[in-house]
Amino acid sequence: MATVIPHSLFTNFDIDLFKSGKHFRLYEKLGAHLITVDGVEGVYFAVWAPTAQSVSVVGDFNFWTFGDHQLEVRWDSSGIWEGFIPNIKKGTIYKYKIQSNNDGIITEKADPFAFYCEKPPYTASVVWDLEYKWKDSKWMEKRQDQNGLGKPFSVYEIHLGSWKRHGEDNRFLTYLEFAEDLVNYITETGFTHVEFMPIMEYPYDPSWGYQLVGYFAPTSRFGNPQEFMFLVDQLHKAGIGVILDWVPSHFPDDAHGLGFFDGSNLYEHPDRRKGYHPDWKSLVFNYGRNEVRSFLISNALFWLDYYHADALRVDAVASMLYLDYSRKEGEWEPNIYGGRENLETISFLKDFNEAVYSNYEGVQTIAEESTSFPMVSRPTSIGGLGFGMKWMMGWMHDTLEYFQKDTVYRKYHQNDLTFSMTYMFSENFMLPLSHDEVVYGKKSIAGRMPGDEWQKFANLRLLYGYMFMHPGTKLLFMGSEFGQSSEWNFEGSLDWHLLQYPIHEGVKKLITDLNYLYKNQPALYEKQFSPEGFEWINYSDHQNAVISFIRKGNNSKEDIIVVCNFTQITRENYRIGVPRNGKLTEILNSDAKVYGGSGVFNVNEILIEALPYDGRDYSAALILAPLSVSVFRIK
């Protein structure tokens, strides 16, 4: 047997924290770490495998020979195997070969804490360091002000593998190429944040990254860890926040992954009713096992720590919260109180959010949660789950359902639009038009709009204008910002050639101007989660399919008035009530010719009259362009 020197990075306190589910820096201990012991350089390996009879490190340095480099199990019943192997260098490829006490089963696994992985389809881990000299201090120092709940969040959701590809051979761009092309594009279009669909290492491209194996490694498809750090660095230097999709809800059963890791159900719940996800044919974490909680929360903090992420969007929270999610009667067991809520998950999510917010200033967590589970984005101190924001799936569904209807029928369905305001302020909502809405036969967002080409794009511009004026933060999936015609295809690039056509360039121009307006009009963000920030003018004009409302900030003199016309009929002398005397100035009209519209707009300033209307003492007569959003300021 080759030399493995006994060595440990763990203290007794570390072990106590690990066993109690409270060790949130496990990435500093478990995994492969380049260190020097007694003047000799090498790698310290540590892996959690409590059911193991023996654990060997195999790799290109020992010709993948089982038993040559065996780790030693700790004496403290933690189940951690560890040891120092001298003369191993950065870039060494390795796995753990584990012989189990369970009938001698042998598994060969990638390192759950590896910082870097082989490029798929290869599956081994790579010894690596995380040394990098960050240059984003200005962003990090002011992040608490830039990234707060009372600030603009206009998020560009991106799948790195299909945003843009190299033309001739359809190859992926690299992190370094993204650091130029993507940063310039986000700067041009004005989004405040970019959200990366999972960049943690995953084996199967069609999973889009939502079936993770390398939880601590950015995918090697686009480069190495330092190159991804450089991409984040460049985004921050440009004043753009970075949101990472995080997937603690399930993981694949690939042979080299977390499943059946040491010959036992180590990471997954042993009860298949809780440990297997029928929709995704994947395994579900055992949220009641303390060591698994330490693993997951450590992983969340790792991306905030080493990669300077500004927010984590947590995927598929609904599937975690309910024991009967996608399960038929008899396929699930109620909790101790007879309910369907997963109490272990609820406890875990609260611990996760408390750990994030107590350790990092100015960060956010965002829940993709599609049910009416209460207080998702409320503090744990008052019984909430502790997230900063929650996706508003009801708004997304109702709004798209409404917009797909022919304009003739919209007067019968106005409640689909106005209903969102009855529960808008029960959570801190983000309005998503995400990747899930442009796949599996749903068509692109533009493709779902009714009418001829002109009406489709007028409807699209109206949808985006309405979205940006509606309370809540915003998220738009890549390609939607220029009216991608076809569904999203993860195997190729977006249809960038469409921007040669004025109607597509016009949509992009509108998104750019909406982002500018959102960021520069405090009424649109200062009270975006408060009922004090919104007031209806008229939501009941079903016959004309028109709604009007006021957005409010801290200064009433900066209030914004919004009027939406959901039919293709131009409405002249359309009167609305206004809160005070003065003049109205139109500051944005989605029907402007520069956006591809017909160019109907309100000329100059509109005099406000002392004529009661809509329950107010003052009113004004407007021209409403067809299928448009008009935005006004009072002077």
Q: Tokens standing for 399?
A: 């709004």
C-alpha to C-alpha distance for 534 and 528, rounded to whole angstroms: 8
Whole-angstrom distance, CA of residue 93 vs CA of residue 50: 24
Residues 205 and 156 sit within 8 Å (Cβ to Cβ): no
Q: Determine contact, residues 241/232, Cβ cutoff 8 Å.
A: no
> What CA–CA distance (Å, rounded) separates 227 from 502?
36
Q: Is the dihedral of CA 521, 480, 171, 212 positive or negative?
A: positive
Peptide bond into 206 cis (omega under 30): no
CA distances to 103, 368, 591 from 481, in Å: 56, 21, 16
What are the tokens at 539?
Answer: 């939501």
The sign of the dihedral angle between the CA atoms of 64, 70, 73, 74 is negative
Catalytic residue among 368, 513, 559, 586: 368
Amino acid letter, 477 = F
How far is the C-alpha of 192 from the C-alpha of 9, rounded, in Å? 40
Concatenate the DSSP letters of all residues of 211-249 into one string.
S-SEEEEE-TTS--HHHHHHHHHHHHHTT-EEEEEE--S
Query: Would residue 205 show up in a list of annotated catalytic residues for this protein?
Result: no
141 is catalytic: no
DSSP assignment string, 47-69: EE-TTEEEEEEEETTTTT-TTSS
Catalytic residue among 111, 157, 201, 315: 315
Q: How far is CA 553 from CA 421, 518, 522, 561, in A?
A: 17, 12, 6, 12
User: Which residues are catalytically annotated?
Assistant: 315, 368
